[in-house]
Amino acid sequence: MTASDPTAFTSQLRNLRQTRRFSDRAVPDDVLNELLEVARWSGSSKNTQPWHFIVVTNSELRKQIAEAGPFAGFLESAPVVIVLVMAGSNPRSEPYDEGRVSERLMLAADAHGLGAGTGWFAPDDGGERRVKELLGVPDGMVIRSALGVGYPDATDPRPRGVSGGRKPLSEIVSRERYGG
Amino acid sequence: MTASDPTAFTSQLRNLRQTRRFSDRAVPDDVLNELLEVARWSGSSKNTQPWHFIVVTNSELRKQIAEAGPFAGFLESAPVVIVLVMAGSNPRSEPYDEGRVSERLMLAADAHGLGAGTGWFAPDDGGERRVKELLGVPDGMVIRSALGVGYPDATDPRPRGVSGGRKPLSEIVSRERYGG
């Protein structure tokens, strides 16, 4: 579907950054619902939709989830945590599909002035098992990541939109052949 | 970055569909460049940017790539094929990052009235090795997918934007606990 202003649209894509510090301001239900609809309509390998989203707002539960992963601590301060539970039936395509749907959720949050960031859990005893226990997720399913969503902390001194550099196109693009 | 019209933006996200039939119309250089800039600015685990993009337009080469994978045949008809070469240093986060950047490329193409679709190569002798040979990609790097990009074939009888159904939210979303 051609966008009404394609360049404004791609500019929105280019300017997405992860947010990991949040204010206390609540996420409105209608916005959260819109994010979940974006997730629902995500494409996936053979349209398997190999996902389930657990929306966690309980602060004690968020704290326990945040403690389960070495790269998940910031989730404690996110008013909404969306845990991505993957089906666990296709280890090749599911992480790719998980990345696709996560990117869309982050883009949708950003468009509404929210921020979002990815927290990670290491496999099995590295934290995944703990999160599955906390949330009653069946064996066989996979939890690799969760998104923290909320309004960015305006007092965060790090400016949004300029985090990290990127390699130049000349380094990451070839024509017809690697290095060409 | 709050979008000027957040709901129009998320509507654009929701309506993205894969395109696998293309017209012969060439992709303008400036649009292709904008797509590559969107890829360049994609987020990745620890900002590793674990990717390299090989842009293939040569028709004989596209044909050979299309023949390398059981789910890649449609790439022959795409005027531009973008092969995603991943660094191969983190098997846990790279497929997720590959999904993220692919989703953005598909969204950017769609915003410009182009279509895009994902072609897959099976590991090693299943096709990945052949594509690496064709493109001179070093051992150790990983090729899992390629995107075909072009203007959609207007004679394709399948309507865009209504392909496949999606599970209802009640089936894919829980609150606080799996199944809750």
CATH number of the domain at A87, please.
3.40.109.10
List the domain range (segments joined by +) for residue B136.
19-152
Tell whether the model's pLDDT for residue B177 goes beyond 60. Answer: yes
Confidence of residue B34 (pLDDT cuts 50, 70, 90): very high
Give the chain B residue nearest A180 (alpha carbons).
Answer: B54
Separation CA A24–CA A92 (nearest Å)? 38
- Asked, for residue A157, whether it belongs to a domain, the answer is no
- Asked, for residue A174, whether it belongs to a domain, the answer is no
Return mean pLDDT, chain B: 94
Chain A residues with CB-CB distance to B124 below 8 A: none
Confidence of residue B163 (pLDDT cuts 50, 70, 90): low
- Interchain pair A135, B61: CB under 8 A: no
Question: pLDDT tens for residues B62-111?
Answer: 999 999 988 899 999 999 999 999 999 999 899 999 999 999 999 999 99
Separation CA B47–CA A151 (nearest Å)? 22
The pLDDT value given to residue A171: 96
Question: pLDDT tens for residues A84-113?
Answer: 999 999 998 999 999 999 999 999 999 999
Average pLDDT over residues B116-144: 94
Chain B residues with CB-CB distance to A4 below 8 A: 8
Closest residue to A178, CB basis, from B36, B85, B145: B85
The pLDDT value given to residue B129: 96
| Residues 11-70, chain B, touching A (beta carbon < 8 A) | 12-18, 34-41, 43, 47, 49, 51-58, 61
Tell whether the model's pLDDT for residue B157 goes beyond 90. Answer: no
Confidence of residue B161 (pLDDT cuts 50, 70, 90): very low
- Asked, for residue A12, whether it belongs to a domain, the answer is no
- Asked, for residue B1, whether it belongs to a domain, the answer is no
- Interchain pair A110, B49: CB under 8 A: no
Chain A residues with CB-CB distance to B180 below 8 A: 54, 136
Which is it for strands B142-150 and A51-56: parallel, antiparallel or unpaired?
A: unpaired
Regions of chain A with pLDDT less than 50: 161-162
The pLDDT value given to residue B13: 97
Task: Tell me the residue ranges of DSSP E strands in chain A.
Answer: 51-56, 80-86, 115-120, 142-150, 173-175
Which is it for strands A142-150 and A173-175: parallel, antiparallel or unpaired?
A: unpaired
Tell whether the model's pLDDT for residue B122 goes beyond 50. Answer: yes
Q: For a pLDDT cut of 90, what percent of chain B falls above it?
A: 88
Closest residue to A18, CB basis, from B43, B120, B175: B43
The pLDDT value given to residue B7: 96
The pLDDT value given to residue B160: 53
Give the chain A residue nearest B15 (alpha carbons).
Answer: A1
| Residues 86-115, chain A, touching B (beta carbon < 8 A) | 92-93, 95-100, 102-104, 106-108, 110-113
Q: In chain A, how long is the greatest CA-to-CA distance?
A: 53
- Asked, for residue A121, whether it belongs to a domain, the answer is yes
- Asked, for residue A58, whether it belongs to a domain, the answer is yes
- Asked, for residue B76, whether it belongs to a domain, the answer is yes
The C-alpha torsion from B71 through B43 and A84 to A133, rounded to 10°, is: 120
Q: Are A86 and A94 in contact (CB under 8 A)?
A: yes
| Mutation to test the B interface, candidates A142, A166, A169, most B Cβ within 10 Å | A166
Tell whether the model's pLDDT for residue B156 goes beyond 90. Answer: no
Domains in chain A: how many in total? Answer: 1
- Asked, for residue B70, whether it belongs to a domain, the answer is yes
